[in-house]
Amino acid sequence: MCFAISSPAHAADTEAWTPTESAIRAASAGIALPQTVAGLSLSKSGEASNGGRAVDNYAQYLSEDGAIQATLYVYLPTYADASLAAYMTDKAVMERFGAKTRRTAYASASAAGRADSAIRAVYEDAADGALTTAAGFVHAGRWIVKIRVTGPTERRGEVLAGLDGMLANLSVDDPASLHSTAPASFAACPAAPTADARPTPAKLVGEAVPQDVRIPRDGRDALCIRGTVATADGNYDMLQQAGRNDGAIIVPIDDSGTVLAFDPATDGQGYKLSIHMVGQTDLYGVYDKVPSPRQVAAIIDGKDTQTAEAQAVATYAANGEITVSRLAQKGR
- All domains of the chain in start order, with CATH: 18-177 (3.40.1000.10), 210-326 (no CATH)
pTM above 0.85, yes or no: yes
- Which is nearest to 43 in space by CA: 60, 68, 58? 60
For residue 124, is pLDDT > 90?
Answer: yes
pLDDT at 61 > cutoff 80: yes
DSSP percent split of the chain into helix, strand, coil, nearest 5: 15, 40, 45
Whether the predicted pLDDT of 88 surpasses 80: yes
Residues 15, 20, 22, 25, CA torsion sign = negative
Radius of gyration of the chain (CA): 20
Query: Whole-angstrom Cα distance, residue 222 to residue 46?
Result: 36
Distances from the Cα of 252 to the Cα of 39, 70, 131, 275, 288, angstroms: 35, 25, 27, 10, 22
> Taking 60 as the threshold, does the pLDDT of residue 8 lie above it?
no
Residue 254 CA to its chain's centroid (Å): 7
303: alpha, beta or left? (left if phi > 0; alpha if psi -120 to 50):
alpha
Q: What is the pLDDT of residue 210?
A: 40
Highest mean predicted confidence (pLDDT) among 3-7, 176-180, 293-297: 176-180
Q: Which string of DSSP letters, residue by residue, matches 204-234?
A: P-----GGGS-S--TTSS-EEEEEEEEETTE
Residue among 176, 165, 190 nearest 117 (CA): 176
Confidence of residue 306 (pLDDT cuts 50, 70, 90): low
Which residues contact residue 317 at a Cβ distance below 8 angstroms, ignoring those fewer than 6 apart? 11, 14, 53, 55, 279, 323
- Burial label for 26, CB within 10 Å (0-12, 13-18, 19+), is buried
- Asked if residue 148 has pLDDT above 90, the reply is yes
Q: How far is CA 98 from the centre of its chain?
A: 23
Strand partners, 124: 102
Cα–Cα distance for residue pair 158/178, rounded to 1 Å: 27
Per residue in 12-58, pLDDT tens?
456 789 988 899 999 999 999 999 999 999 999 999 887 789 999 99
- The dihedrals phi and psi of 36, each to the nearest 5 degrees, come to -130, 125
pLDDT digits (tens, 9 = 90+) for 214-263: 888 999 989 999 889 999 888 999 999 998 877 899 999 999 999 999 99
Determine the distance from the C-alpha atom of residue 161 to the mean position of all C-alpha atoms in its chain, rounded to a whole number. Answer: 25
Per-residue burial over 31-66, b = 16 or more CB atoms within 10 Å of its CB, e = otherwise: bbbbbebbebebeebebbebeebbbbbbbebbbeee
Average pLDDT over residues 273-293: 91
The vertex-171 CA angle with 73 and 17, nearest 5°, equals 50
- CA distance linking residue 205 with residue 52, whole number of Å: 29
- 3-class DSSP state for residue 198? coil
| Percent of the chain whose pLDDT exceeds 90 | 64
**Mean of pLDDT values over 69-92:** 96
